[in-house]
Amino acid sequence: MRDKPPFLNGSIVIVINDNVEKALRKLKKKVQESGILQELREREQYEKPTTSRKRAKNAARRRWQKKLESEQLPKKLY
């Protein structure tokens, strides 16, 4: 990849040897890693601050529960 000029803020993917499919996969990966589409979906509708806090708290609770379940010893099967 080449360094992009300072005046461009977009993502650049170069097509090499007419391999458009590979370039498209790279572009999709770049877009997903940057989180542009996720942010766009979040901004489509206004979400009240209490709703966003509640959603974040529930997500943290689910992550914590998943972590606890992964740390538990397996059940005895006898």
Tell me if 67 is assigned to some domain: no
Identify whether 27 is part of a domain. Answer: yes
Confirm if 28 and 37 have CB atoms less than 8 A apart.
no
Residue 29 belongs to a domain: yes
Task: Say how far apart CA 3 and CA 66 lie, in whole Å.
Answer: 41
Number of domains, the chain: 1
Residue length of the chain: 78
Convert the pLDDT of each residue in 52-75 to its tens digit.
Answer: 999 999 999 999 999 999 998 888
- Tell me the pLDDT tens digit for each residue of 27-47: 999 989 888 888 999 899 999
Residue 14 falls inside a structural domain: yes
**Portion of the chain with pLDDT greater than 90, in percent:** 46
Spatial separation of the C-alpha atoms in residues 1 and 13, rounded to whole Å: 8
Is there a domain that residue 74 lies in? Answer: no
Q: What does the alpha-carbon distance between residue 24 and residue 13 come to, in Å, rounded to a whole number?
A: 8
Host domain of residue 19: 1-34
